[in-house]
């Protein structure tokens, strides 16, 4: 069922050409707010509230999956798996987003292209007004990190731990981005180390997948140079960026293309193609694990 679920969600994610404005996105914010309002009634143990925020929502999901067993020949269970994984994916259709961005960029309308993605790139750094090259670079970084946290890492934990594992990882990332339960400096640092440790293996699996889907030598060199780094978010992202550059040949594109506009467009297309080929690699490898091993 896991392989079938992954195949379905990847096809839906690729061909679903609309953003997913889900009304249920606000439930986790409300849940965190409720925990904060009742914090004084709970023991003052470090990381208790963040742990409750992630673990307790998994219980209704596990109960629902247990009740759905063997209902409609397993179709109800399959539907739950698909919905949970899709919920953990990005709310934006990344392929459509890149296509719209490239249309504006290649037409020379850099201001409109950057305004379209500027709200999305804040995670990759502080956007600079009218610095189109910097915003473009941050958009590339945003796509890399979104591919990790909203696609491949979700699939990784789903394949290992099922829908509860995928949802738990999704909630971890959402809580880290929100930060309302991590007001204490020591608590925030502890959670940051935890998230870095959780992502340590998926980042390296994804980097090796980039090597299989692109320039093996360039990506594997980056993986070898960064592999034994201790769990750290910045180190994980550095490995991801280096493996992406090596696999997609972005350095080669920069060396041969003379015009900045064309170079940036080529880099973005190369990244988009790499991510698509990597999804194909994952489907092939997972099919071998399911049907051969």
Supply the DSSP string of 14-46, one letter for each residue. Answer: HH--S----GGGGHHHHHHHHHHHTGGGS---T
pLDDT value for 209:
95
Q: Does 171 or 95 have the greater pLDDT score? A: 171
- Over 70: is that where the pLDDT of 42 sits? yes
In tens, the pLDDT along 195-207 reads: 999 999 999 999 9
Residue 188: partners with Cβ closer than 8 Å, 6 or more residues away: 179, 182
Residue 184 phi, psi (nearest 5): -80, 135
Distances (CA, A) of 22 to 97, 127, 153, 171: 18, 27, 21, 15
- Over 50: is that where the pLDDT of 190 sits? yes
Res. 208 pLDDT band, cuts 50 70 90: very high
Mean pLDDT of 116-142: 74
Q: How many CB atoms lie within 10 A of CB 289?
A: 12
pTM of the model: 0.89
Residue 130 region by backbone torsions, left for phi larger than 0, else alpha for psi between -120 and 50, else beta: left
Tokens of 252: 């080669």
Exposure string over 238-270, b if 16+ CB within 10 A, otherwise e? bbbbbbbbbbbbbeebeeeeeeebebbbbbbeb
- Over 70: is that where the pLDDT of 126 sits? no
d(CA 272, CA 292): 30
Res. 43 pLDDT band, cuts 50 70 90: confident
Mean pLDDT of 211-231: 90
- Over 70: is that where the pLDDT of 81 sits? yes
- Over 50: is that where the pLDDT of 76 sits? yes
* Among 39-48, 94-103, 161-170, 245-254, the range of highest mean pLDDT: 161-170
Tokens of 166: 């995928």
Percent of the chain at pLDDT > 70 equals 88
CA angle 250, 256, 259 (to 5 degrees): 95
Mean pLDDT of 229-243: 91
pLDDT value for 22:
59
d(CA 257, CA 56): 52
Tokens of 158: 């789903």
pLDDT value for 18:
66
Residue 19 phi, psi (nearest 5): -70, 150
C-beta separation of 235 from 75 below 8 A = no
Q: DSSP alpha helices (H): ranges in the chain?
A: 2-15, 27-37, 48-55, 58-67, 75-88, 94-106, 110-117, 132-147, 153-178, 185-213, 216-226, 233-248, 250-256, 260-291
In tens, the pLDDT along 112-124 reads: 888 888 878 765 5
C-beta separation of 275 from 244 below 8 A = no
Mean pLDDT of 161-183: 87
pLDDT value for 257:
40
Among 231, 233, 267, smallest CA distance to 249 is for: 267
pLDDT value for 21:
61
- Over 50: is that where the pLDDT of 106 sits? yes
Tokens of 208: 């090796």
Mean pLDDT of 277-293: 86
Q: Does 167 or 23 have the greater pLDDT score? A: 167
């Amino acid at each position: 069922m896991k392989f079938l679920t992954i195949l379905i969600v990847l096809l839906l994610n690729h061909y679903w050409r609309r953003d997913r404005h889900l009304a249920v996105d606000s439930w986790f914010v409300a849940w965190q707010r409720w925990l904060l309002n009742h914090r004084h009634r709970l023991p003052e143990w470090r990381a208790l509230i963040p742990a409750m925020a992630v673990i307790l929502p998994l219980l209704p999901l596990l109960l629902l999956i247990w009740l759905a067993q063997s209902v409609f020949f397993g179709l109800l269970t399959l539907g739950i798996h698909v919905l949970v994984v899709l919920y953990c994916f990005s709310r934006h259709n990344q392929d459509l987003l890149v296509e719209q961005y490239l249309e504006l960029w290649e037409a020379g309308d850099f201001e409109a292209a950057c305004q379209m993605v500027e709200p999305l790139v804040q995670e990759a750094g502080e956007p600079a007004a009218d610095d189109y090259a910097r915003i473009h670079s941050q958009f590339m970084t945003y796509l890399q990190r979104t591919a990790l946290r909203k696609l491949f890492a979700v699939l990784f934990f789903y394949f290992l731990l099922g829908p509860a594992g995928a949802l738990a990882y999704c909630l971890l990332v959402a809580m880290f981005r929100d930060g309302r339960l991590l007001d204490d400096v020591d608590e925030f640092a502890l959670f940051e180390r935890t998230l870095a440790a959780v992502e340590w293996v998926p980042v390296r699996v994804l980097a090796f997948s980039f090597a299989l889907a692109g320039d093996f030598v360039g990506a594997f060199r980056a993986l070898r140079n960064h592999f034994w780094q201790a769990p750290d978010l910045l180190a994980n992202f550095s490995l991801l960026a280096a493996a992406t550059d090596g696999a997609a040949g972005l350095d080669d594109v920069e060396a041969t293309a003379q015009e900045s506009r064309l170079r940036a467009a080529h880099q973005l297309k190369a990244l988009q193609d790499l991510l698509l080929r990597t999804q194909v690699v994952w489907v092939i490898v997972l099919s071998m694990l399911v049907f051969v091993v």
